[in-house]
Amino acid sequence: MTAANRQGDLAPPNSARTEMSLRRRLLLFLLLPLIPLSAMLIMLIYWAIRSATTESYDRVLEGSALAIADRVVLESSTLVVDLPYAALQMLTNSAEDRVFYSVQIYPSGEVITGYRDLPAPDFTTGNDGEDRIVQYIDFRGERMRMVAIRDEALSYAAKQTFVVLVAETMGQRQVVLERYLRRAVLAFVIGVFLVSALTLYAVNLGLRPLRNLAQAVRLRGERDLRAIRRPVPPEGQPLVDEINALFARLEKALNSHRRFVSNTAHQLRTPLAELKTQLEVARLEGTPPDLSGLSGRVDGLAHLVDQMVLLSRIGEQPSGVDTFGDVDLRVLAEQAVAEWSLRAIEAGIDLGLQVEAKAPSRVHGHQSLLLEALGNLIDNVIKHAAGATTATIQVHKDRLIVTDDGPGFRPKGSNESSVQRFGLSIVHEIMDLHKGRVTQNLGLRAEVALIFDGEDDLGSKGTAP
């Protein structure tokens, strides 16, 4: 992934778009489904209460009709109804509703007693031969619930079929339905509020480790880049790991900055002191300063400054088209030989190339930085390998080796030049950026190897946001 793509994933700092908080998002995802679920449950509750109320009142109507049917007798081929007191009491159990009844001869429809205009249902169609029908009717401009029971009155000589009709207005049913529905909805709303409160508490409790983590980071000093060792849920561990990795990268960058400042102070002190001493000697002796020598020292100082600027920029995200990619070590070595051959010849050194790797010598890296590292090693040979006549760049599968026939490196702490020490520091920094390493010997025939370890991870620093 390129640096541009990685940066494209980050929202601009002044963007008008504001992300919804994780707490609000969780509450929204958890509680928003309660709206359609609540509507569906309320409809189910309404249906259940209505069914129970209707069934209860229908049984009362059916009981009244059965009580009336039991008192219908056939006397001398004439139906006689002795309306029982219990049936009359059931029919008048509500002050809000009106009850209508009728006993009729079936199928002629002749009314024996009751309301003559109360319509009887058709028992012959759509009833599967049942003798009881419960249905809604419109009677005298009102919606009613009616029970119709078909029965027979028997005597010794004859029998007669009759129908008992009992209808009731629905005012009391609606009152009871609304009463129980209000109670059920109230209980349901209380339950929803309790669920919402418990959800809010659970979300806050679940996000507490993140708040504790944020507080732990906020209370740290600006130089405290230790890894976070705070217990977090498994879902938050990847975030902690990434923060710790970021702290590690920042600490490495700060250490590199400190080394750069320290190296700058130490490396500039010696050439400036030498330059000042030469000028003081010329002033005390009253002789003109050696302009050629001063020019050489100024050129060396300028080169040292260039090296320090390069070192300060190593590790920054490369820009432009020359970023991390596949680098052919053989082509890289050939390019270095072509650039440094003339200066090597002027210094009396034969710069050669030796390719020892049979397999393709390709690594993942930054072309310009690797060329700079190789150039620094060649420059050290030209300027500081006293008596060297040959220098060779060896190309292997996973490394580049620069050798010369000079006296070799002096032990650590010896008085080698500032530019030489700084040139090797740059090489080390470039190889650190490529997650590689630098090895060098301390004997005769100096040898410096640039070794590339773990090519699969190379370039990750160069493309980090």
Q: Which of 173, 192, 219 is the last residue of a domain?
A: 219
Q: Give domain status of residue 1, yes or no.
A: no
Contact at 8 Å (CB) between 11 and 17? yes
Task: Provide the number of structural domains found in the chain.
Answer: 3
pTM of the model: 0.47
Buried b (16+ CB within 10 A) or exposed e, 331-365: ebbebbbeebbeebeebebebeeeeeeeeebbbbb
Q: What is the reported pLDDT for 455?
A: 46
Give strand ranges (E) for 21-158: 72-75, 78-81, 99-105, 111-114, 132-139, 142-154
Cα angle value 40/42/48 (rounded, 5°):
105
Handedness of CA 197, 202, 205, 209 (dihedral sign): negative
Residues 118 and 25 in one domain: yes
Q: Which of 184, 201, 219 is the last residue of a domain?
A: 219
Q: Give domain status of residue 11, yes or no.
A: no
Q: Give domain status of residue 361, yes or no.
A: yes
Q: What is the reported pLDDT for 147?
A: 92
The letter for the amino acid at 410 is R
Residues 118 and 89 in one domain: yes
Q: Give domain status of residue 9, yes or no.
A: no
Residues 98 and 139 in one domain: yes
Burial class (CB in 10 A: 0-12, 13-18, 19+), 20: exposed
Residues 284 and 352 in one domain: no
CATH number at residue 344: 3.30.565.10
Residues 41 and 178 in one domain: yes
118: nearest Cα among 107, 132, 104: 104
Q: What is the reported pLDDT for 146?
A: 92
Query: What is the tens place of the pLDDT at every residue in 140-150?
Result: 888 999 999 99
Residues 113 and 240 in one domain: no
Residues 80 and 184 in one domain: yes
List the chain residues with pLDDT less than 50.
1-16, 317-322, 413-421, 455-465
Q: Which two tokens stand for residue 107?
A: 């199928």
Q: Which of 276, 294, 313 is the last residue of a domain?
A: 313
425: nearest Cα among 435, 416, 436, 438: 438
Residues 144 and 278 in one domain: no
Identify the domain containing residue 76 by its residue range.
Answer: 19-219
C-alpha distance across the termini of the chain, in Å? 11
Helix pair angle (418-433, 237-285), 10° resolution: 170
Q: Give domain status of residue 10, yes or no.
A: no
Residues 258 and 364 in one domain: no
